[in-house]
Structure 1
Amino acid sequence: MRVIGLMSGTSYDAVDAAAADLWIEGDTLRLTPLGTVGQAYDEGLRAELAAALPPAPTTLEAVCRLDTGIGRAFAEVAARADRELCAGRADLVASHGQTIFHWAEGGRVHGTLQIGGPAWIAERTGLPVVSDFRSRDVAAGGQGAPLVALVDTMWLRDRPGRPVALNLGGIANITVAEGSCAYDTGPGNALIDAAVGHVTGGRRSFDTGGALAARGTVHRPLLDRLLAEPYYARPAPKTTGKELFHLPYLLGASAGLGPLPAEDLVATVTALTARTVADAVRACRGTEVVASGGGTRNPTLMGMLGAALPGVAVRTSDELGMPSAAKEAYAFAVLGFLSAHGLPGSVPACTGARHARVLGSLTPGAAPLRLPAPPPGPPPARLRLAPGPG
């Protein structure tokens, strides 16, 4: 099956698409990467989205408009991926959508909302669409994240030692490859991006090449205040988001400390990400970190993380053949494939759900809907990158 995975993370800057051929051989799911495309959100749409996200108030009208605008943006990227990567022969689209709220309270997740109507994708491409992956895990008592844990455990389980997959998106999350532990460690790029936007008056939205942080000095009193956040001490499984880690949160933590040089503020929140990720890797007894996501393009962050984990190999997923910038899009292509085949896409030990569940909702395309039969035997236990069959 040829599947297009669509993803826009908590940095809400662009829609990424990854296309793959996927098939099952025995206990192994084979994946042939066909390439990736991406497209930044229109500046007006991104501004509307930013204005509607917590802690800002919003309206149902704004949410409806965003659902439509984001759905159309996802649809255009899906159509482009089908045309440019699949020669118009894709079978399925798997769309994560855009998270706008993750309702975590009292150590539980009560609901989650991803927008970007799949009907727009199905109408534009003519392909069936699997979407709304997180809601079923939440309904089964899980955190709804990190859903990539299943893909990470399948992909890394045969590596030596105790490898840990790390995603450095707006929020950082880890998965121990043996499937015993996966959770959001805290902010990935969320506070870094918020700090950069603040100190540049909105002229920049991220720390290009980690340059600002590299010129700064970590402000220890602010770092200590940030590390006192109760979320870090909570047991896993747990999830968080920009509902907690946003600019007002950062400004509140820095209140009373006097003016900080811009570079020092960015260096401090970069150190926070490195420290909280490193603490999580040590707690899970990780021997190797395989990192992906936008944060891997920040050499200052990656350098701080390596320094905080002496004796632990820190590498990017690119070194293992999985493009770090599009790993989550590939992961949702895998989850879409599993859902279409009636196979579970969650790891209860990682999300806290009562049971593994088939994830997502299905929107038919232009043709009559025909789903493949579930394969005989147990679900595949391994994921291998491979050349195409034949």
Structure 2
Amino acid sequence: MTQMRILGMISGTSHDGIDVAVVDFGLAGGTLTGTVEFTASTPYPPELRARLVAALPPAPTTLAEVCVLDTLIGQSFADVAAAAIDEAGPVDLVVSHGQTVFHWVDEAHALGTLQIGQPAWIAERTGAPVLSDVRIRDITAGGHGAPLVSVLDALLLAGHQGVAAALNLGGISNMTVVRGPDDLVAYDIGPANALVDAVVSSRGLSERGFDEDGRIAASGQVDERLLDVLLDEPYYRLPTPKSTGKELFHLAYVEEAIARSGRRPGDADLVATLTELTVRTVAREVLASGADLLVVSGGGARNPVMTNGLREALPGVRLTFTDEYGAPADEKEAIAFALIGWCTAHGLPGTVPAGTGARAARVLGTLTPGAEPLVLPMPITDRPRSLTLRR
């Protein structure tokens, strides 16, 4: 049974809500096809998001609060999964990435990662088996557990003649560079929306907590002195593969950079400067990769200040969006986790070692049974060579 309907779910490093995708996968002749039957993005309830933000690094928290959030986020994921199944129909498997609350990196090595959102709530609510905790197995094999989306990027871009780069602009920017079927590298570049969102939320610049359509950035001017300080971040000089998160890039990080710069930019100028930080760091990596194609996804794909800045900085690179490849830019990661679920169900690794730095590829995740006995398909031995997504 290579045909499976899988529901993928994730709340990313912007921790603003839950993205979901239902994909019907089938394998024929080495090509995997996926029909994207349903996508949606559901914001967290404001009180839950505020409680989550208050518990994230560098804020202190307690095990009691982690336990409460694990339950409340698990219940939110269960609600979203049940709503998706009500609209799209039954699924064979739910894959829940959950909410990352800590990614433990010591210099260039990932040592642990924590995603919360108890999967048993999803299994109880939907009756479907749930695959969760998908990053840690890669870390135990010496990888970073990120960016796991590289397994999707490698298959989607397999047919490109040249060097292609898939860029995700979430809270953190990450990129997969594909030079051939077995020649790729993937890593976290740095902050995409994380620092902008932190400033916008803390200063009450937008009710939605982010710079919608880049309007705030467009109204400001880049502070070059502050930008120079921000660009002098040691993380950018670490070798790849590497990973990072809000453990490093948070509001206090911005405030410390402002203090070192000796400047005091206004709100719009600060947002413009942080947006330009994303443009500069990403453009530098794309140029170094030699990519002639850049395929963009994530919340930042909808920010014209960010994407137009990249177009101007990369005149020889064709910039497009994952929508062109059948994956809506806002739900690409949910589709990626559905793909990882299909791989795990068939006994196939869900990682590309060159993308995460692991010693070898690993089958990912922990399974929580649903209402019926857990029955998996017969394992298959040959990984798909490409993926075609359609809607």
Gap runs ≥5 in structure 1: none
CA drift of 1:200 comes to 2.9
| Alpha carbons 1:181, 1:284 under 8 Å: kept | no
C-alpha separation between the residues in 2 aligned to 1:4 and 1:198?
34
In the other structure, the counterpart of 2:156 is 155
Structure 1 residue aligned with 2:211, among 199, 207, 213?
207
Deviation of 1:42 after TM superposition, in Å, equals 0.9
Return the match for 2:285 from 280, 286, 289: 280
Q: Which amino acid aligns with 1:329?
A: A
TM score, norm. by length of structure 2: 0.96
**Which range moved further: 297-306 or 119-128?**
297-306
Paired residue type of 1:47: A
What 5-or-longer segments of structure 2 have no aligned partner? none
Q: Tell me whether 198-207 or 56-65 shows the greater mean CA deviation.
A: 198-207
Q: What do the CA deviations read for 1:5-60 (whole angstroms, capped 9, x no partner)?
A: 00110000111110010011121111011021221111111111001100001000
Match of 1:373 among 371, 374, 378: 378
Query: In structure 1, what is the Cα distance between the partners aligned to 2:189 and 2:374?
Result: 40
Q: How does 1:312-327 map to 2 (within 5 A)?
A: 312-327=317-332
Q: Which amino acid aligns with 2:50?
A: A
Answer yes or no: is 1:134 the counterpart of 2:138. Answer: no
RMSD across aligned positions (CA):
1.2
TM-superposed deviation, 1:386: 4.3
- Looking at structure 2, the residues matched to 47 and 229 of structure 1 have their Cα atoms a distance apart, in angstroms, of 28
The CA distance in 1 between the partners of 2:153 and 2:25, in whole Å, is 16
User: Any idea what SS the aligned residue of 2:146 has?
Assistant: coil
Query: What is aligned with 2:55?
Result: 52
Within 2, Cα distance between the matches of 1:137 and 1:238? 13
Please give the alpha-carbon distance, in whole angstroms, between the structure 2 residues aligned to 1:298 and 1:199. Answer: 20
Which digits, 9 at most, give the CA deviation of each residue in 1:161-202, with x for residues without a partner?
A: 211001000000000123421000000100111122234367
Partner of 1:62: 65
Q: Deviations over 1:257-283 (max 9, x none)?
A: 232121110100000001111111112
Could you list the per-position Cα deviations for residues 213-272 of structure 1 after superposition, in whole angstroms to 9, with x for gaps in the alignment? 111111000000000000001110000000000010001001152321211101000000
- Structure 2 residue 125 is the aligned partner of structure 1 residue 120: no
Alignment counterpart, residue 236 of structure 2, candidates 229, 232, 235 = 232
Match of 1:180, SS state, is: strand
- Supply the distance in 2 between the matched residues of 1:151 and 1:290 (Cα, whole angstroms): 12
Other structure's SS at 1:16 match: strand
- The amino acid across from 2:317 in the alignment is V
Determine the structure 1 residue equivalent to 2:312. Answer: 307
Q: Distance in 2 between matches of 1:340 and 1:319?
A: 28
Matched, 1:290 2:295: yes
Match of 1:25 in 2: 28
TM-aligned CA deviation for residue 344 of structure 1: 0.3
User: Counterpart amino acid of 1:152?
Assistant: D
Counterpart of 1:40 in structure 2 is 43
Q: Distance between the aligned counterparts of 1:204 and 1:372, measured in 2?
A: 43
Equivalent-residue separation in structure 2 for 1:154 and 1:319 (angstroms): 14
**1:252 aligned partner:** 256
| Aligned position for 2:363 | 358
Alignment of 1:151-230 (within 5 A): 151-177=152-178, 178=180, 179-200=183-204, 203-230=207-234
Q: Which amino acid is the alignment partner of residue 295 of structure 2?
A: V
Q: Quote the Cα distance in structure 1 between the aligned partners of 2:390 and 2:66.
A: 41
What amino acid maps onto 1:161 in structure 2? G
Match of 1:72 in 2: 75
Equivalents in 2 of 1:318, 1:350: separation in Å? 22
Offset, 1:361: 0.5
Cα distance change on mapping 1:158 and 1:202 into 2, 3 Å: closer
- Deviation for aligned residue 1:320: 2.5
Distance 1:231 1:303 in 2: 25
TM-score of the superposed pair, with normalisation by structure 1: 0.96
Residues 326 and 390 of structure 2 are in contact (CA less than 8 Å); yes or no, is this contact kept in structure 1? no
Aligned mate of 1:270, from 272, 275, 278: 275
| Distance across 2 between alignment mates of 1:323 and 1:166 | 13
State the 1:306 CA deviation.
1.1
Match of 2:340 in 1: 335
Structure 2 distance, partners of 1:201, 1:169, is 19
Cα distance in 1, alignment partners of residues 253 and 207 from structure 2: 21
Distance 1:268 1:162, change over 3 A: same
Q: Is the 8 A contact 1:196 1:204 kept in 2?
A: no
* Cα distance in 2 between the residues matched to 1:116 and 1:329: 15
In 1, the alpha carbon distance for the partners of 2:141 and 2:263 equals 47
